[in-house]
Structure 1
Amino acid sequence: MSVIGKLVPNVSSRNFSRISAALSSAKSNRTYFTYTQELSQPLDRKPEILTAKEALEKCLKSGQTVFAQGAAATPVPLLNAMTDVGKAGSMKDIKVVHMHTEKEAAYVAPECKDIFRSVSLFMAANVRQSVAEGRSDAIPIFLQDIPKLFHRKIIRPDIALIQVSPPDSHGYCSLGTSVDCVRSALVNSKIIVAQVNPNMPRTFGDAIIHVSHIDYAVHDDSPLPEHGGKPPSAEEAKIGQLIGENLVEDGATLQMGIGSIPDAVLSCLKNHKDLGIHSEMFSVGVIDLVNRGCITNNKKKFHKGRIVGSFMVGNKALYDFVDNNPFVEMLEIDYVNNTHVVSLLPCMTAINSCMEVDITGQVCSDSIGTRMYSGFGGQTDFIRGAAESVDGRGKPIIAIVSNTRRGESKIVPMLKPGAGVVCTRAHVNYVVTEQGIANLFGKTLRQRAYELIKVAHPDHREWLEKEAFARLKCMPAP
């Protein structure tokens, strides 16, 4: 039997027609008595099985707001069908709201500027150009606050486009690799269109959605996008070693994103014990540490013995690892990134990167000058949560290679004009480069400049000292 053929138990055509009519009239004003918002509650209805184009032709209209799931769960065929239907129907003013999405975003092409307007809650490379050219928007927001946009009706999705695993014998699908803000968007969406993909890993926690909440189901078996696997550079490996050997304690709870530096840190933790993971995202590097018994999550007071995440982008090994694995809980982002929750975790060690750091400790992570590049993400959520650690052992860490690929210093006298300050100078404790570790907590401005210049690339230290003197009217000093 096909994936779609197993979507729901048999329902009589008469009963289904009655249910469909009731739901149709209730969709504009759902209440507890007509449609429960709890996505794990089974309903006496089933989705209509259509192609991507048919589904979008049924529900897409001018002036609507469309929410799209992101990261590895980006429903690319649905978004492509949305673009084609919008263009063919000469539609206008459709807002497409999303976090980081994968693959090409056809709806932000110049010829779509009057049809679609992308609104990024965290930008990816596929929309940067359209934001720079004024055809798309970005909302600066902490990751933990994004669900509030939906619950407070600041963003009201008419349609949600998602990707799920096939339903189990009880009719439950999984949001798989991307829970983050998806659940909050779904319970506030009028119509849910789901791409049902056997390649989507089945994850637990807040990822579960009963198939009866889906309005239109579309079969797809495309492989999920993959990232990672590139070996770290010599500089990144050194950063990983410095953090692993000096700042990560046994029993620490780790937060780190995807990329070469997090993977380099993980590769240096093979002799650590009882590590835990509580992170908005995590990468394939955790698998080896789990297999070695280094990651046990046994020191946590809640979610003991389990990895906690909210979304992921990795490779097939990572997707296979999380598939049907109760060791991993995928939870909503307003919980995972909640600063208070983070502060309760044992020896919370938050490792994040950025674009540049100025000599007073201000961190720019979301833009290059005035040009928007990404977003706030979870950096501030975790940096502050680690700093507030109730056990007094938290470590907020900014990790960067000291130079850009062009040989320019990432530690600078002043941030570029228009650069966004994601972490203020008061947020920042540790800054780590391949040159060493700078601890800024409790330091004066000239002490901070001294510490940061020590971990800058040697080629730029004399220049930074001169610029620091010009800015501070005194020499940097320990």
Structure 2
Amino acid sequence: MSYHQQLDRVRTDPDTAVTVVRDHDTIVVPIAAGEPPTLLHALSERREHLRGVVVSQLLGLGRYAYLSEAHAGNVRHSSPFLGAATRTGAHEGWIDWVPAHFSEVPVLIRQGLMPCDVVFAQVSPMSPDGLFALGVSTDYTLAAIEKARAVVLEVNPQLPFTNGNCHVHVSQVTHVVDATSPMVELAPSVIGPTQVAIAQHVAELIPDGSTLQIGIGGIPDAVVKQLMTKNDLGLHTEMLGDGTLALVEAGVITNACKNFHPGKLIATFALGSARLYEFMDHRADLEMHPVDYTNNPFVASRNDNLHSINGTLAVDFFGQCASESLGRRPFSGPGGQVDFVRAANASNGGKSIMVVPSTAKDDSISRIVATHEPGTPITTGKNDVDHVVTEFGVARLRGRSVRERTHALIEIAHPNFRDQLTEQAKDLRLW
């Protein structure tokens, strides 16, 4: 039987495909742009006929009908990383928030610590040799496919076919449906003077020939603009976005100096514009790999001069970075932050860089704090933090005492809060 005959045997409509889901199943869905909207809408239509089903996914983007408190007993969402569509539900308690490093999710699935009965994933059209590419969301999906009873794929002609360890063979698939929604695109970030000032400080820390891990948002996008004068940068990251695409197109990222995967762009998922997805299609110098490879600190640190750039919400005098919530109110998740902080610290010539605006809410709240609010989860701990950057400068914390850290952090705090922070430091015998 040819691969196309095998495909014809498993092709069906969305309503039929979602009938593979049984009561109390866990459905694993890829991160972000890899989520299959046609299947999730069909699942939502069937939600009242199901009991105890869980959808497990990092950074869900779509606002589907199953995402409601009224139907949480039918289909409940569970996530190690929240976004706008799931944040309120997590705060109100009808969406579950799962502590986990991004790099460890495939291992947790393989060990059965995170269940997986069914996979719903969006993929590229099938290649002549019977392969679909997960492409934009390789992440933990291959590990889930190994464990799943049923694998349902949504084929989107706009999704790129990519190289790397990111393929699913037609023989592994239970059902295939055709996409009815376009690829999700990410709007450009708003970049203001604070983001530009932070980015200028970050750019000074990154020498020519460095390999980058860079995330998503206004500050990373501002950093990209400040790196346009650099030479022969490389990329080993979790997310590929339009910012890194701009550096490739400008000839800044060449991967020529990489000692690990030389000449290659390495990532585990992508989120951006249609132009980004077109760039990825059949690109020889791009490889997409599972997150337990890309984000594994022992793997990523094999890149000399690895520079990781990640955002946080607040930093205390110890240097502890709270990047997931302020107090007990959940906001996002650890993602791959600690993975790459540790990788950059272990890299020969590497640096880990945490970026944070000095204030929030129109300069009414300092993000440099003496101590975090009770109940605040710590994402990057005091023993891992290296550089902290605000618009007022850079504090190098690694290897320094708490007293030295306190002085350095107050120096890069907003001037309106420095006297208050100094008095708090005196009360704590740190000044």
Distance (Å, rounded) in 1 between the aligned partners of 2:312 and 2:430: 27
Cα deviations across residues 23-70 of structure 1 (Å, max 9, x unaligned)?
Answer: xxxxxxxxxxxxxxxxxxxxxx7652222112112x122111111122
Offset, 1:288: 2.5
Partner residue of 2:351 out of 395, 402, 427: 395
Offset, 1:262: 1.0
| Structure 1 residue runs without a partner (length 5+) | 1-6, 12-44
Structure 1 position 311 matched with structure 2 position 269: yes
What does residue 38 of structure 1 align with?
none
What does residue 437 of structure 1 align with?
394
Deviating more after overlay: 428-437 vs 132-141: 132-141
Structure 1 position 77 matched with structure 2 position 38: yes
Query: Which residues in structure 2 correspond to 1:152-163 (within 5 Å)?
Result: 152-163=111-122
Query: Which residues in structure 2 correspond to 1:262-273 (within 5 Å)?
Result: 262-273=220-231
Name the CA shift for 1:10/1:441 in 2 (closer, same or farther; >3 Å): closer
Partner residue of 1:10 out of 2, 5, 12: 5
Cα deviations across residues 153-175 of structure 1 (Å, max 9, x unaligned)?
Answer: 22332211000111122222111
Offset, 1:95: 1.5
Which 4+ runs in 1 deviate beyond 4 A?
none
What SS does structure 2 have at the residue aligned with 1:126? coil
Deviating more after overlay: 139-148 vs 100-109: 100-109
Aligned AA (1:375): G
Distance (Å, rounded) in 1 between the aligned partners of 2:325 and 2:246: 34
Aligned AA (1:406): D
Cα deviations across residues 328-351 of structure 1 (Å, max 9, x unaligned)?
Answer: 111010010111112221101010
What does residue 336 of structure 2 align with?
378
| Structure 2 residue runs without a partner (length 5+) | none
Q: Would you say how many aligned residue pairs link Structure 1 and Structure 2?
A: 429
Query: Which residues in structure 2 correspond to 1:226-305 (within 5 Å)?
Result: 226-244=185-203, 246-305=204-263
Offset, 1:195: 0.6
What SS does structure 2 have at the residue aligned with 1:386? helix
Structure 1 position 179 matched with structure 2 position 141: no
- Contact 1:96–1:118 under 8 Å retained in 2: yes
Q: CA RMSD in A?
A: 1.6
Offset, 1:121: 2.2
- Contact 2:358–2:366 under 8 Å retained in 1: yes
What does residue 416 of structure 1 align with?
373
Distance (Å, rounded) in 1 between the aligned partners of 2:296 and 2:8: 35
Cα deviations across residues 124-166 of structure 1 (Å, max 9, x unaligned)?
Answer: 2212222222222121111111101111122332211000111
Deviating more after overlay: 225-234 vs 235-244: 225-234
Partner residue of 2:286 out of 322, 328, 346: 328
Distance (Å, rounded) in 2 between the aligned partners of 1:474 and 1:304: 46
Distance (Å, rounded) in 2 between the aligned partners of 1:348 and 1:474: 33
- Contact 1:179–1:331 under 8 Å retained in 2: yes
What does residue 14 of structure 2 align with?
52
Aligned AA (1:169): P
What does residue 63 of structure 1 align with?
24
Distance (Å, rounded) in 2 between the aligned partners of 1:133 and 1:405: 23
What SS does structure 1 have at the residue aligned with 2:66? helix
- Contact 1:47–1:215 under 8 Å retained in 2: no
What SS does structure 2 have at the residue aligned with 1:205? coil
Offset, 1:221: 4.2
Partner residue of 2:317 out of 347, 359, 364: 359
- Contact 2:402–2:430 under 8 Å retained in 1: no
Structure 1 position 119 matched with structure 2 position 78: yes
Distance (Å, rounded) in 2 between the aligned partners of 1:152 and 1:46: 33
- Contact 2:195–2:218 under 8 Å retained in 1: yes
Aligned AA (2:264): R
Name the CA shift for 1:216/1:303 in 2 (closer, same or farther; >3 Å): same
What does residue 406 of structure 1 align with?
362
- Contact 1:228–1:259 under 8 Å retained in 2: no
Offset, 1:454: 0.8
Query: Which residues in structure 2 correspond to 1:89-238 (within 5 Å)?
Result: 89=49, 91-238=50-197
What does residue 418 of structure 2 align with?
461
Cα deviations across residues 353-380 of structure 1 (Å, max 9, x unaligned)?
Answer: 0111012211001112101111111110
Q: Give the TM-score normalised by the residue count of structure 1.
A: 0.87
Distance (Å, rounded) in 2 between the aligned partners of 1:252 and 1:221: 41
- Contact 1:226–1:315 under 8 Å retained in 2: yes
- Contact 1:172–1:211 under 8 Å retained in 2: yes
Larger Rg: 1
Deviating more after overlay: 424-433 vs 206-215: 206-215
Percent same amino acid at aligned positions?
33
- Contact 2:31–2:139 under 8 Å retained in 1: no
Aligned AA (1:84): E
What SS does structure 2 have at the residue aligned with 1:238? helix
- Contact 2:44–2:64 under 8 Å retained in 1: no
- Contact 1:47–1:211 under 8 Å retained in 2: no
Cα deviations across residues 77-126 of structure 1 (Å, max 9, x unaligned)?
Answer: 21121121121x2x211121111111204222022021122111222221
